[in-house]
Amino acid sequence: MTRRPFILIFAILLLCIVPTILNAQQVGTLYSPQKYRTQPVHFCLNFQTGFSSSMNAACDLRYGLLGINSDFDWLQGSSGQGARGVIKDLGSNTWTDDFKIPVVAALPMLKPGEQRQISIDVSGADGANGAAGATGVNADDDSRRPELSPIAIPQERTLPTPNPALQSSSRHDGKPKIDPFFVKAIVGHMYVAHVVDDVSDYYALFRVEALEDQTCSISWKLIPTPQ
C-alpha cells in the first residue's frame, strides 16, 4: 500500500516530462545532393518552417555538399543573403541529458560588396622533405592525396582558389583545416545553431541520429537565446 502513492507520483511526473521531450523535437532526414540531386528528397532544413527539396530555398542547415575522400558527412549552415550564422558541436549528448548550451557569437557583418571567404585545407601533414603531404599517406604519392569534392555555396560565401605556394611553404600538423561554416556530422552528437541574417536571429538545437548512404537523420527544436 505504501508504494502506491510513490508510483502515482512517478506516473504523473512521467506524463509531464515525456510529452515535453517528444513535442519539442521534430525529426527528419537530409540527403546529399551529390547522390540524390535528381530525386524528390529533402536537401534543406529551415528550423522554423521545416524541410524543403529545393536547392535554392532559404536553408539553416544542409548536408553532404562537402566531400573529402568521398566522405560527405559534413553539415553546413546558411549561405543566404546576409547570413552570419554559426553551428557549434556540443559533443555526445541525448535530449534527456543535462548540458550547458553556450552563447554562440554570430559572424561579423559584411561590408557592401564584400564576400565571405570559405577556407578548406586538406593537404595534411608535412612530408619528410617539408612539402605538403596528406594525412596518413605518403606525401609524395599524389594519387592518394585527399580529394576535395565540388561544393555549391551560393551568394555571399565563396570558396577561394587554393594557393599552391602557400600550401608548400606552410607547416602542417596532419589535421584538415575546415572553415567553421562546415561542421562534421557525428552520430549521437548535439549541435547548437545560432541563425542570424538580415531578418532573423534565433537559436536551434539539433542532434544527428543516424548517418547512412549519404543521408543524415536529425532531431531538432527551437530554443530560447542562451543567457
Give the domain extent around 153. Answer: 26-223
Is residue 9 in a domain?
Answer: no
Percentages of the chain per state (helix, strand, coil), in multiples of 5 = 15, 30, 55
Is residue 11 in a domain?
Answer: no
Question: What residues form DSSP beta bridges with 216?
Answer: 30, 211
Is residue 1 in a domain?
Answer: no
- Give every CB contact of residue 159 below 8 A, 6+ residues apart in sequence: 118, 120, 151, 153
- Give every CB contact of residue 211 below 8 A, 6+ residues apart in sequence: 73, 185, 187, 217
pTM above 0.75, yes or no: no
Of residues 170 and 165, the one with the higher pLDDT is 170
Closest residue by Cα to residue 116 from 157, 160, 162, 60: 157
Q: Which of 37-46, 98-107, 119-128, 145-154 has the lowest mean pLDDT?
A: 145-154
Q: Scanning the structure block, which residue is given the C-alpha cell 546558411?
A: 78
Is residue 21 in a domain?
Answer: no
Structural domain count, the chain? 1
Is residue 189 in a domain?
Answer: yes
What is the structure's pLDDT at 3? 54
